[in-house]
């Protein structure tokens, strides 16, 4: 069994406000590769902070994070950026697509940023759009698409650089429940077919049916699992 995520005693304290905010207080976590895991918890429980730390967008105050055996604190800024581009795909609640670019261009741009050779980009972008069922929508811009379609483009973009870890923050938060189910089923299929590890932060009970494991975050700690 390959370990995708290994977190030890992770704490994250925000000190920007008058009073320090302890967002994560001693999180320990181990997730096997290929798992689709839901991270649940009320608003303010620390889900976004944890995802940001796992993806190297934010740094722990104390504690260590290893992703596929790579200890993130050993990487300097440049190495961390390169690691993120190669190993992690991010998906957000509000899709985050560039409005002036087509679906195809949104995906292709990500490959360009990740340094994928020109000759390979076209095939890979089309393959990813195909995987999310949007081949026929490649030339459409985000505003011509439904929310569910836009999120599919975002998923195609996230998997384009062939990451081993997908971090999805409230990825179904703006979708109606039928569309949310389609997106959850898509995540499930992607995790299985590509041996990708997916961590989805959500407070939607719909996700339980689709994931391999549910983790509960409470006040910055992983709550013991109910039997």
User: Does position 48 bind Mg ion by CB under 5 A?
Assistant: yes
46 binds, among ligand ADP, Mg ion, none (CB under 5 to 8 A by kind): ligand ADP
From residue 22 to residue 51, the character string flagging contacts with ligand ADP as x (rule: CB under 6 A) and all else as - is -x-----------------x-xxxxxxx--
The interface region with Mg ion, picked from 46-54, 92-100, 183-191, 216-224 by CB under 5 A, is 46-54
Of 58 and 87, nearer to ligand ADP (C-beta) is 58
Residues 130-149 that bind ligand ADP (CB under 6 A): none
Is residue 117 a contact partner of residue 159, using CB atoms and an 8 Å limit? no
Q: Using the rule CB under 6 A, is 17 a contact of ligand ADP?
A: yes
Positions in 93-122 near ligand ADP (CB under 6 A): none
Each residue 46-85 as x (binds ligand ADP by CB under 6 A) or -, in order, gives xxxx------------------------------------
Give the one entry of Mg ion, ligand ADP, none that residue 14 binds, where binding means its C-beta sits below a cut-off of 5 to 8 angstroms depending on kind.
ligand ADP
Query: Which of these segments, 47-55, 90-98, 150-158, 174-182, binds Mg ion (CB under 5 A)?
Result: 47-55
> Which of Mg ion, ligand ADP, none does 41 bind, CB closer than 5 to 8 A by kind?
ligand ADP
- Binding-site size for ligand ADP (CB under 6 A) equals 13
- Rule CB under 5 A: is residue 172 a binding residue for Mg ion? no
- Residue by residue, DSSP assigns the chain as --EEEEEEEEEEEE-SSSS-EEEEEEEEEEEETT-EEEEE--TTSSHHHHHHHHTTSS--SEEEEEETTEEGGGS-HHHHHHHHHHHEEEEETT----TTS-HHHHHHHHHHHTT--HHHHHHHHHHHHHHTT-GGGTT--GGGS-HHHHHHHHHHHHHHT--SEEEEESTTTTS-HHHHHHHHHHHHHHHHHHT-EEEEEE--GGGGGT-SEEEEEETTEEPPPP-
> Rounded CA gap, 131 and 120, in Å?
17
Task: Name residues contacting ligand ADP, limited to 149-208 (CB under 6 A).
Answer: none
Interacting residues with Mg ion (CB under 5 A): 47-48
Interacting residues with ligand ADP (CB under 6 A): 14, 16-17, 21, 23, 41, 43-49
């Amino acid at each position: 069994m390959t370990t995708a995520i290994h977190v030890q005693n992770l704490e994250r304290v925000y000190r920007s406000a008058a009073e320090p905010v302890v967002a994560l207080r001693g999180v320990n976590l181990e997730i096997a590769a290929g798992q689709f895991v839901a991270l649940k918890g009320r608003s303010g429980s620390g889900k976004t902070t944890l995802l940001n730390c796992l993806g190297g967008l934010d740094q722990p105050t104390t504690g260590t994070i290893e992703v596929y055996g790579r200890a993130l604190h050993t990487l300097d800024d440049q190495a961390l950026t390169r690691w993120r581009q190669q190993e992690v795909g991010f998906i957000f609640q509000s899709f985050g697509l560039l409005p002036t670019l087509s679906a195809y261009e949104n995906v292709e741009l990500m490959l360009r940023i990740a340094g994928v050779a020109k000759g390979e980009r076209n095939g890979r972008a089309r393959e990813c759009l195909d995987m999310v069922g949007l081949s026929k929508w490649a030339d459409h811009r985000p505003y011509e698409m439904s929310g569910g379609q836009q999120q599919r483009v975002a998923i195609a973009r996230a998997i384009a650089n062939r990451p081993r870890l997908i971090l999805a923050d409230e990825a179904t938060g703006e979708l109606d429940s039928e569309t949310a189910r389609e997106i959850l089923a898509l995540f499930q299929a992607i995790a299985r077919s590509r041996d990708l590890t997916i961590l989805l932060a959500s407070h939607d009970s719909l996700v339980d049916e689709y994931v391999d494991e549910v983790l509960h975050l409470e006040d910055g700690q992983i709550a013991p699992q109910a039997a």
